[in-house]
Structure 1
Amino acid sequence: MSRDAASRPARERLLDAAGELFYESGIAATGVDAVLARARVSPATLYAHFSGKDGLVAANLERRFRQWRDVWDEVLDERTDPVDRLLSVFDAVVRYRAVEGNRRGCAFLAAAVELPPGHPGRQWLAADSRLLTERLHDLAEAAGAGDPTGIADGLLALYDGALARLARQAATPGLDTGDPLHRARRMAADWLAGRVPPGRPSG
């Protein structure tokens, strides 16, 4: 850990360390001791900020959710064309991965497999699902699509497939079939043609 990183507040260091380790090794495989060692804090400091590992997991997912939402908001602010605004979900993931330096698939999809029912982190998995579903529905409706629910479902299928493919590539050395996000975006653009009226204002 650099001198600058070590000077950051303990809570931020814990979240940084947890985010890195959970993403690299998985939530279940990461022990609290590994997080404490990377963050350079004591167990008492951890429990002063979080209820334990489950609280740390939930706070990490909350932070990732808010960061991801902010990036998508930023990308949407740059788009005016209705189809581009629908496709912004793919552009936002590309930008988010560039900022975060992600090399694997979606942390939310991974956490969904690992977290048991009732885990406090699941509220942020649900928040991510609502954001994707509701925002894509609203963007499709604003674009004048006849079936906004169907448009949202179709885009989500391509989105989830691209993220799952990224995870598979990361887990399989030598498996490189191109960028799944760019490919999914092209497929989505082709699929939207004829389903979204051209030239309609996005407001």
Structure 2
Amino acid sequence: MSVPRQPARVRLLRAAGELFYEHGIAGTGVDAVIERAGVATGSLYKNFSGKDELVAAYLADRDERWREEWDRAIAEADDPAGRVLAIFTATERWRDHVGLQRGCAHIAAAGQLPPEHPGMAVAVAHKRHVVERLTTLVAATSAANPATTASDIALIHDGMLGSMAVGLDPDPVARAYRIARTLLPTS
């Protein structure tokens, strides 16, 4: 019995995700994505209007998968502070299963895309969601200013991702977790 082949859209997104993350958006042409996906050129244009829409879809897909990982880590946490710090647990899992050798894909994309690119809106929405979700989680603790604390933790998280990209810290996740923990009230 043969395994059913994944739809072209799924294969294109997977190939784009691998190539855009590994080689950069600007450094990856649609021909490379088509080849890696094993689809015909027409399949790309049947599913996406062109590279710009493919980039936005890649970033949206990555965001959706990240949110699912983060939600799982939050659900496993035992207390309000643990739910806040679950962002680091989720990041560690993401690193181990998906890879983060280039840091945050959304930040990397923002550095490569012009402001009016549809992928830029997805990158900004991703970062906005992180801060908003952290604000909600921090509000469940007794922190005096949840919005400020959440923004600080988001900045620590982004710094950790940047550290991963350049590889200077042997364990940036543990370090970021430790720093972020100091911003939260003790139980």
Q: Normalised by the size of structure 2, how large is the TM-score?
A: 0.93
Q: Is this contact kept in 1: 2:53–2:118, CA < 8 A?
A: yes
Q: Normalised by the size of structure 1, how large is the TM-score?
A: 0.86
Aligned counterpart, 1:109: 107
5+ long unaligned stretches in structure 1: 170-175, 199-203
Which structure has the larger Rg over C-alpha atoms? 1
Aligned counterpart, 1:182: 174
| 1:17 pairs with 2:9 | no
SS at match of 1:94: helix
**For 1:51-200, what aligned pairs fall within 5 Å after superposition?**
51-169=49-167, 176-192=168-184, 196=185, 198=187
**Partner Cα distance (1:141, 1:75) in 2:** 18
Q: Is this contact kept in 2: 1:17–1:39, CA < 8 A?
A: yes
Aligned counterpart, 1:173: none
Backbone CA RMSD of aligned residues = 1.7
The Cα shift of 1:197 comes to 5.2
The Cα shift of 1:103 comes to 2.6
Q: How many residues align?
A: 186
The Cα shift of 1:98 comes to 2.0
Runs (4+) of structure 1 exceeding 3 A deviation are none
**Partner Cα distance (2:173, 2:106) in 1:** 16
Aligned-residue sequence identity (percent) comes to 47
The Cα shift of 1:179 comes to 1.4
